[in-house]
Amino acid sequence: MEYFEFVLILHLMIKLLGITNDLSQCFMLQKINEIRENDCEDLFEEVNTFCLLYHIVIPNMEDTITVRGRSRVMVDSW
């Protein structure tokens, strides 16, 4: 760590990895949005096929669910 070249390369790598991380997060959000907009039916079909193969109970998405327990009330401490 006592040489300029080493410190320069280290800082360059930090900047490049930061850019790569930003691009990766952007790409991931884009892919998630694409799945949400276009491939939901395909995703559900894939999950249903998997569940049937491994004998996992598939819930009826049309059923209503009764919420049990009490709702949490936030108390202002001011």
pLDDT band of 74, cuts 50, 70, 90 = low
Sequence spans of domains, the chain: 4-53
33-72 pLDDT per residue, tens? 888 888 788 888 999 999 999 999 998 878 777 777 766 6
Q: Helix 4-38 and helix 40-53: axis angle, to 10°? A: 90
* Cα–Cα–Cα angle for 17, 23, 38, rounded to 5 degrees: 150
pLDDT band of 75, cuts 50, 70, 90 = low
| pLDDT value at residue 67 | 74
| pLDDT value at residue 16 | 93
